[in-house]
Amino acid sequence: MIRRTGDPVDQIAREPGSPVAAVPGAAGTGGSAATSAVAERPDAPPGDPNGSAPALPPVTLTIDGREVTVAGGSTVWEAARELGIEVPVLCHDPKMRPVGVCRTCVVEVEGARVFPASCVRPAEPGMVVRTDTPRLEAQRRVLVELLMADHPTPCDKELRGLACELERLARRYGVGNGSGPLPLESRPPRPRDDSSPVIAVDHSACILCDRCIRACDEVQSNMVIGRSGKGHLALISFDDRQPMGESTCVACGECMAACPTGALTDKFLVEPFTPPETRRVDSLCPYCGVGCGVTVEVKEETIVRITGRDDSHNLGRLCVKGRYGYDYASHPQRLTVPLIRRDAFYPKGALSRDVRGEEGPRRGRAQETNGEAAPGRSGNGRGAAGGPGGRRPKPGGIVDYAEVLPAFREASWDEALDLTARRLLGIRDSHGPGALAGFGSAKCSNEEAYLFQKLVRTVFRNNNVDHCTRLCHAGSVAAMLEQVGSGSVSDIFHNVDQADVALVVGSNTTENHPVAATFVKDAAKRGTKLVVIDSRRHALCDHAHHFLQLRPASDVALFNAMLHVIFRDGLQDDAFIAGRTENVEDLRATVAAYTPELGEKISGIPAATIEEIARMYARGPNSIIFWGMGVSQSVHGTDKARCLMNLVLATGQVGRPGTGFHPLRGQNNVQGASDMGLIPMVLSGYQPVTDPAVRRRFEDAWGTPLDPQPGMTVVEIVGAALTGEMKGMYMMGENPFMSDP
């Protein structure tokens, strides 16, 4: 039985006495005995779960005659905001470190000789501050005049219906374009840069506030943007004066979101819009498993912009797909009415012979050269491409609707639903329940996933329901259910900034989970010791303190060797093990043979490095493990995940921010879809279909008998379709060519 503790961190503990068997490791590479746990570390000091430095005492000061108490280390600008006092600022963004370069946020401090910039001036006890005196307003007006001297009015941001922060201040102080005291004849015109596919650059609107530079450096950790030139020739530049579209920019849009003016604008905003014309809908990004919170702005039922939500776990950050990848919603090829295939175009039989590969030419990895296909490999060792017995080319790319639509006719929803139900039930009644299956989707909501698996189980009368988790996260879930009773992560990914050590295993995070990667890179810059373990080098390795490029399929040996060192050197957490785990002696026996020298022989990682990383992880004091598809999608993925969980549980590195385990999923709702039972061997909540008591509960709730046998997986369903055993399938939101290739 699983129980949860009262701590807000997701903590799970197995009841004493519940069995957890030792689990053999990967074939030929050793074993990984299972331990079980998760709870708050019993020896964590009260009020200091992360071992962080003690907080500074609160500070009380007076601003515009009003007293306010703020946390120690706060700035005057932050204290004013606590009171609802708006101090104008152009160079500061609360998500980034303050620099005080624009000087519009200056304030009067009683007893000070100069006007300090409030965004960088620390609040001090007893400080008396004024934010709106005539002298301050006069100075701000002069600063705005200077900035507006050659600023295009309206700039690109204003033309798109968004507010330029500089022009807003200009309206506040009654300053117009070119009204400043400086002559502009000698200054050359500033260029535009339209080389990026998503961001337009207008240097004439740039005020050199450096917000874009800091956003790229501090938030995304890409370090693409800098300054070039001096004096009035100074410009922001990309990779030392490269056009933005030719630089190493990843088009995440963080710089554009941070820019206060029209210097960096969204090319997707073709038509101007204003807030009264749009409605804002909070949602989640539809792409990877990071699940970033987004705000979708909609005008006349069309998405016009997507921004990151600061109150979500991504803290407002987005990647290129999350910020700009929304045009599919209004794509002309998106279906708006049901389509039914015309009888004349219906395939002959359950599956045509050419798809099964029984006839027709086969093309290997052919490459088009001057309109002709270059020779490719047959892939079966029985002849060249195009030889007999091969398959036809796998479809791919965007198909022209002109080629597809003649095979279909539009239909009403009633006709389409009636036809679908009649034919599926006909297959079930003619060939038996086992002739039907369903593919759900990790991009649908929990409610949709629950209803879909219920449909398959109650109407198709079998458990042949699965989705892309089979080729994504299922291997990790199996290990996590065995060892902690849950398939979910134990900590939010942005808490990596509270980790002393972070292990990233089998994950090309910068490409597959870009927003999560930004937090990992940020943490590494701030002192977290980043260890990347992977068979190939990728971009995150450039930020790592240690890169362990192990031999493929040697992960189990490496992790068991690390556990060997931990037990040998007494680095395990005995109190945690005694109170929260079981079967530790089986684990000790399994890893006893895995000396660092054996780990080096199998993995190629030097024994000294294995020992160093093992000690570093165990000593933490806060250590976290991320792993990705390189673990979950491998043949021995479950064993690899078991070993990683053993590292966590043996050292008690769980239950506190900056610790625990975080498998990175492929699609945005793999976790929820699995929780809802969109997998063939369990019902909702991971309750096994083979358990009679579980089935009785669901049968009573659903009012129909349920199949006691586990269903087919994605791979087995496709195999059954190829042999003709599977006669019909219902796919909801799943594209097997993309998700299950």
Q: What is the pLDDT of residues 453-484, one digit of tens each?
A: 999 999 999 999 998 888 878 888 889 989 99
**Span 418-433, pLDDT tens digits:** 999 999 999 999 999 9
- Inter-residue contact 297 to 279 (CB < 8 Å): yes
**Span 119-167, pLDDT tens digits:** 999 999 999 999 999 999 999 999 999 999 888 888 888 888 888 999 9
Rounded distance between C-alpha atoms, residue 183 and residue 164, angstroms? 24
Mean pLDDT within 188-197: 86
Is the confidence at residue 451, as pLDDT, over 60? yes
pLDDT of residue 187: 59
pLDDT of residue 632: 86
Write the secondary structure of 607-670 as one string of H (helix), E (strand) and C (coil): HHHHHHHHHHHHHCCCEEEEECHHHHCCCCHHHHHHHHHHHHHHHCCCCCCCCEEEECCCCCCH
**Span 364-391, pLDDT tens digits:** 333 333 333 333 323 333 333 333 344 4
**Span 61-74, pLDDT tens digits:** 999 999 999 999 99
Is the confidence at residue 185, as pLDDT, over 70? no
Rounded distance between C-alpha atoms, residue 122 and residue 145, angstroms? 28
Residue reference for tokens 């042949």: 464
Is the confidence at residue 240, as pLDDT, over 90? no
pLDDT tier for residue 301 given thresholds of 50, 70 and 90 = confident
pLDDT of residue 475: 84
pLDDT of residue 337: 92
- Averaged pLDDT score across all residues of the chain: 84
Strand-strand pairing, 529-533 and 546-548: parallel
Plot region of 455 (φ>0 → left; ψ -120 to 50 → alpha; else → beta): alpha
pLDDT of residue 477: 86
The percentage of the chain sitting over the pLDDT mark of 70, rounded to a whole number, equals: 83
Mean pLDDT within 678-688: 93
pLDDT of residue 386: 38
**Span 494-516, pLDDT tens digits:** 999 999 999 999 999 999 999 99
Is the confidence at residue 45, as pLDDT, over 60? no
pLDDT tier for residue 33 given thresholds of 50, 70 and 90 = very low
Walk me through the domains of the chain, giving residue ranges and CATH numbers.
2-30+489-666 (3.40.228.10), 60-148 (3.10.20.740), 275-330 (2.20.25.90), 417-472+669-735 (3.40.50.740)
